[in-house]
Chain A
């Protein structure tokens, strides 16, 4: 399914259904944040940036 079609399909859902999707997205965000993956990636990115600036 194309992105515009998928967007249109999602936009046509009821507010209740959309809010349920929001809640799932939020739960996923929280799980990712709690796992420390983002922090680990950020630290890696910071180290890479520091190495680049020292070159």
Chain B
């Protein structure tokens, strides 16, 4: 992954993307015990992008000219299948803006905060997202106060109450 992130950072330095942050299972691994995953989910913002139509073509062209190859919904960058996601709503934009700086083998990178990962998982709502939320809760990896703020800001408090009722307050 070191080489993958180096190329992504170079792409950012070359102005193809503005900001990026790791999400998904790899992002969750920053906070939790590692769990197998096949891909790297990257939320990216594009420079000067304000229109409704967002194209990932510049990213794909840049990476393909440097040896990456397309494979289904991924582009394989230095052996890691990467899925580029553009923030589709205010929650995801905030998640990228407030991502945490870290590094992998000395390569700087950014990871979405635990509270934003949980909020995005709650919003997405697939079974695997629910499982991930439970891992965050069970491993004590979230700040409940921060999570409450994020959920309130993005209209997810009711959904969270339902999730809590279903998965965290059910019959023991």
Contact = CB atoms under 8 A, between A and B. Distances in A.
Interface of A: 6-8, 10-11, 15-16, 18-19, 21-23, 25-26, 28-29
Contact of B102 (A7, A15, A28): A15
B127 interface: no
A44 to B, nearest CB: 23
A22 B91 CA distance: 27
B26 A29 contact: no
B34 A21 contact: yes
Contact of B103 (A7, A11, A15, A23): A15
Contacts of B122: none
Nearest to B111: A15
What is the size category of the interface that chain B forms with chain A?
A: 10 to 19
B31 A11 contact: yes
A26 B37 CA distance: 7
A19 B30 CA distance: 9
Nearest to B106: A16
Given A18-B33, A19-B104, 19 more contacts: A7-B33, A11-B31, A11-B32, A11-B33, A11-B139, A15-B30, A15-B102, A15-B111, A16-B103, A16-B104, A16-B105, A19-B105, A22-B1, A22-B29, A22-B34, A22-B37, A23-B1, A26-B37, A29-B38
A11 B36 contact: no
Contacts of A6: 33
Interface SS majority for chain A: helix
23 contacts: A7-B32, A7-B33, A7-B139, A10-B33, A10-B34, A11-B33, A11-B141, A15-B30, A15-B103, A16-B103, A18-B30, A19-B1, A19-B104, A22-B1, A22-B26, A22-B34, A22-B36, A25-B34, A25-B35, A25-B36, A26-B37, A28-B36, A29-B38
Contacts of B111: 15
Contact of A15 (B36, B37, B104, B141): B104
Contacts of B37: 22, 25-26
